[in-house]
Amino acid sequence: MQGSRRAHAPPLRSFRQIVEQLSYSEAVLDIELGLCLIYGMHSSPVVSIEQIRKSFGLFEAVRGVSCRIEAGECFGLLGPNGAGKSTLINMIYGASRRTSGKLEVFGMDPNVSSRAIKARLGVVTQENALDEGLTVRENMELYAAFVGVPARERKQRVRDLLGFMNLAHKENEPIQTLSGGMQRRLVFVRALLGKPELVILDEPTTGLDPAVRHLLWGKVNQLKAEGKTILLTTHYMHEAEVLCDRLVIMNKGEVIASGTPKDLREAHASGYVAVFETGEDFAALRTGAGSRSYQVLEDSSGLYVRAPRLEDLLDLQKEHGRQALQLRPSNLEDVFLKLTGPELNVDA
Amino acid sequence: MLNETLKLSWHIVRRNWWVYRKDFLANISPTVTDPAFMICSLGLGLGSYVSEMHDRTYLQFLAPGLAVGTAMFTAFFETSYGFYIRMTYESVFKAMLATPIGVREVILGEFIWVALKSALMVFGVSVVFLLFGQFQNPLNLLLTPVVGILVGVPIGAVGLIATCYVRNINQFQTVYSFIISPLYFFSGIFFPLTQMPEVVQLFAKVLPLYHGVVLCQSLYWNENIAAVWLVHVPVLLAYSAALLLWAYYKVLSKLQA
């Protein structure tokens, strides 16, 4: 991000030149730009986390995590079940208190200014937690009141957002009549009622069919285009690849990797992957791939061989007279599996 | 700050009212019909074997206590089963707590709701009894909601505290059997406490419900209202404050891990 700003900035001039050539306001702007370049300053982060820890009794769920979420970016928080993602998110909006470390959201401490922080963010909670006793509109008008929308604006705000999430026709229906995908969309509406600057998406698409998932991805991109900052947790590596500008991978309460999806792929799992069917005799294939120093990962779902070039994998197939189930460029899932290890399934 | 807290708590009261009014008839009927049936069976049936109780008919003796009992059950069920279901099965608070609402507002909102609901119950039942001619002075009806609030808050707190301790919803039955039931049967609703051994009397007088019953009896019988209220209202206020604080800190640690 910093790099791109530098590229667009005009070359530095002396203060005297600036004053001679430009009007006063332009001069001030230029000085500010110059200062930004000199000191490397940029707008303060939306969320800043330093060495944060959280224990529940003897169990330490979050063990010294540090990261920053910048304004306008979509930041991903990935990791297996029990990695500490939700605990971290709960601490960000003050539902849970950290054991130690520093945490600032919009420059404020959630332990002290939880209400002021929550007024500026919206959460798509992991569970829908919609009020089943009420209709769609009642649910949303109640939440509009919770987030401080003035009474006379509530109806319109709800209507606009129901329209945005393609739910306008369900306005007067009870919650139970909505499908799973519709309920999830309604939770998005609920999170957006307060016009939040930061939108937290806690596993927003878990359990949804691909069509709804794609629809929601489109909506998230729209929110990004509006300049909202987004914090996303997910198990779906593809989702993170599609939506996130930057992400961290957590395991057992710690950050084990961070960067852009591209950086992570290149650093931890570059090249191409062949997936061979499970149940067959892998020995020869494994030895063959190993002798060429390709990465080999075997688990109950199959044998994953990663090589620098696609041709390498085609050669391997030919050599062993075997057809891979899949031949594809490496993706975040390969990074994830490599870093969190196949044994993660045992604890999950 | 406080203003904002009250405003947010009030939204929680509105939420509970919206859900409640959806099935208003179903929700209100047992609270009104139960005492009416009790009047018929106990008051008229059993009452015909009981000649007089403290210079009044058994029906006259029974009515105010039954009204207060309704407030107790309302408050207890609302904050035990009701709150527990909202908290665990419906996850209502999970989403609420992601908005500017905090645990403090949730608790305050629930207490305002429970107080109003208990007030409504005592008032509703008393209207029925008024129609049965149980009020010496019909104007006293207007004070019955106050008794509902004074009983509803401490009993509601007991329910909330129980909610924090139970491991599953079935365990409320134990709380009901060992706390709520004894309160109901030994607080002077069905017979004058003077009938009982002194130990039992002392036990009853220490517990909150007895004081609510005495307050309500003074209203129904139109006897020594000022003197009775001067003694028993402070007791219930003290109970309310202490139990409310206890409940607040228990729920706080439960909802804000």
A126-164 tens-digit pLDDT: 999 999 889 999 999 999 999 999 999 999 999 999 999
Q: Reduced to 3 states, what is the DSSP secondary structure of residue A49?
A: strand
Residue A177 and residue A281 in one domain: no
- For residue A339, tell me if it sits in a domain: no
Nearest one of B38, B68, B230 to B145, comparing CA atoms: B68
The answer to whether A55 and A99 have CB atoms below 8 angstroms apart is yes
Q: Are residues A110 and A239 in the same domain?
A: yes
Of A115, A119, A142, the CB nearest to B11: A142
The span from the first CA to the last CA of chain B, in angstroms, equals: 23
In this predicted structure, the answer to whether residue B211 has a pLDDT above a threshold of 50 is: yes
A15 and A102 housed in the same domain: no
Composition of chain B by helix, strand, coil, percent to 5: 85, 0, 15
Say yes or no: A17 and A112 in one domain: no
Task: Calculate what percentage of chain B has a pLDDT beyond 70.
Answer: 99
Among B19, B93, B99, the residue to mutate for chain A (most A Cβ within 10 A): B99
Mean pLDDT (whole number) for A287-304:
81
- Model confidence over A320-341: pLDDT tens digits? 888 888 899 988 888 888 888 7
What is the per-residue DSSP string for A212-262? Answer: HHHHHHHHHHHHHHTT-EEEEEES-HHHHHHH-SEEEEEETTEEEEEE-HH
Q: Considering only CA atoms, which of A243, A239, A246 is closest in space to residue A261?
A: A246
Please state the domain count of chain A: 3
Q: Quick one: pLDDT at residue A14? A: 54
Does residue A35 carry a pLDDT above 80? no
Confidence of residue A5 (pLDDT cuts 50, 70, 90): very low
For residue B199, give Cα distances in angstroms to B39, B182, B184, B190, B235.
29, 14, 17, 18, 20
Measured distance CA(A130)–CA(A169) in Å, rounded = 18
Q: Which of A215, A230, A264 is the last residue of a domain?
A: A264
Same domain? For A25 and A161 the reply is no
What's the confidence (pLDDT) of residue A342? 58
- pLDDT tens for each residue of B163-180: 999 999 999 999 999 999
For β-strands A198-202 and A121-124, DSSP reports them as parallel
Determine, yes or no, domain membership for A342. Answer: no
pLDDT for position A105: 97
A114 with B102: Cβ contact below 8 A: yes
Q: What SS3 class is residue A63?
A: strand
pLDDT of residue A42: 55
Helix B2-22 and helix B103-131, axial crossing angle in degrees, nearest 10: 50
List of chain A residues whose C-beta atoms are within 8 Å of the C-beta of residue B98: 93, 95, 118, 122-123, 125, 191, 200
The pLDDT-based confidence of B110 (bands split at 50, 70, 90) is very high
C-beta of residue B100 within 8 angstroms of C-beta of residue A146: yes
Q: Quick one: pLDDT at residue A113?
A: 92
Q: Is A334 part of any domain?
A: no
Q: Could you tell me which residue, B257 or B113, shows the higher pLDDT?
A: B113
Tokens of B214: 């005495």
| Contact across the interface for B256 and A97, Cβ inside 8 Å | yes
| Mean pLDDT, residues A46-70 | 95
Same-domain status, A254 and A288: no
- Distance in angstroms (rounded) separating the CA atoms of residues A240 and A74: 9
Mean pLDDT, residues A171-185 taken together:
94
Residue A297 lies inside a defined structural domain of this protein: yes
How distant is the Cα of A336 from the closest Cα of chain B, in angstroms?
29
Nearest Cβ partner of A95 from B8, B15, B256?
B256
From the list A118, A130, A187, the residue facing B100 with the nearest CB is A118
Q: Is A9 a residue whose pLDDT tops 50?
A: no
Q: Do residue A127 and residue A193 come from a single domain?
A: yes
State percent of chain A over pLDDT 70.
Answer: 84
Same domain? For A201 and A286 the reply is: no
The chain A residues in contact with chain B (CB within 8 A) are 56, 90, 93-97, 114-115, 118-119, 122-123, 125, 127-134, 138, 142-143, 145-148, 187, 190-191, 194, 200
CA angle A337, A233, A196 (to 5 degrees): 160
Q: Are residues A11 and A147 in the same domain?
A: no
- Please say if the pLDDT value at position B108 is more than 50: yes
Asked whether residue A344 is assigned to any structural domain, the reply reads no
Residues of chain A found within 8 Å of residue B19, distances taken between Cβ atoms: 131, 133-134
pLDDT at A24 over 80: no
**Contact status, residue B148 vs residue B212, Cβ threshold 8 Å:** no
Closest CA to A261 of A314, A321, A199, A329: A329
A67 pLDDT above the threshold of 70: yes
Domain that holds residue A309: 271-329
Same domain, A245 and A136: yes
Helix (H, G, I), strand (E, B) or coil at A322: coil
pLDDT at A227: 94
pLDDT at A343 (0 to 100): 47
Question: A41 pLDDT exceeds 60?
Answer: no
- The answer to whether B214 and B192 are in contact (CB under 8 A) is no
Instruction: Give pLDDT, residue B114.
Output: 96
Query: How does the average pLDDT of chain A come out, rounded?
Result: 85
Q: How distant, in Å, are the alpha carbons of A80, A208, A235, A301, A335 from that of A348?
A: 7, 20, 12, 16, 18
Residue A340 maps to a domain: no
Strands A272-276 and A59-69: unpaired
Range list of β-strands (E), chain B: none
Q: What is the residue type of A304?
A: Y
A53, A267, B195 from A258: Cα distances, Å? 18, 10, 76
- Set of chain B residues whose Cβ sits within 8 Å of the Cβ of A127: 91, 94
Please say if the pLDDT value at position A7 is more than 50.
no
**Model confidence at A18: pLDDT above 80:** no
The CATH number for A282's domain is 3.30.70
Together in a domain, A307 and A163: no
User: What DSSP character marks residue A77?
Assistant: E
CA–CA distance, B209 with B229 (Å, rounded to integer): 14
Cβ separation of A142 and B4 shorter than 8 Å?
A: no
Q: Binning pLDDT at 50, 70 and 90, where does residue B38 land? A: confident
Q: Are residues A240 and A154 in the same domain?
A: yes
pLDDT at position A141: 95
Which is more confident, A337 or A201? A201
Smallest CA–CA separation between B168 and chain A, in Å?
20
A176 is a domain residue: yes
Of B79, B148, B157, the closest CA to residue B120 belongs to B148
Reported as a pLDDT band with limits 50, 70 and 90, residue A17 is low
- Interatomic CA distance for residues A19 and A13, integer angstroms: 10
Assigned domain for A346 exists: no
More confident: B203 or B142: B142
Residues A307-316 have a mean pLDDT of 89
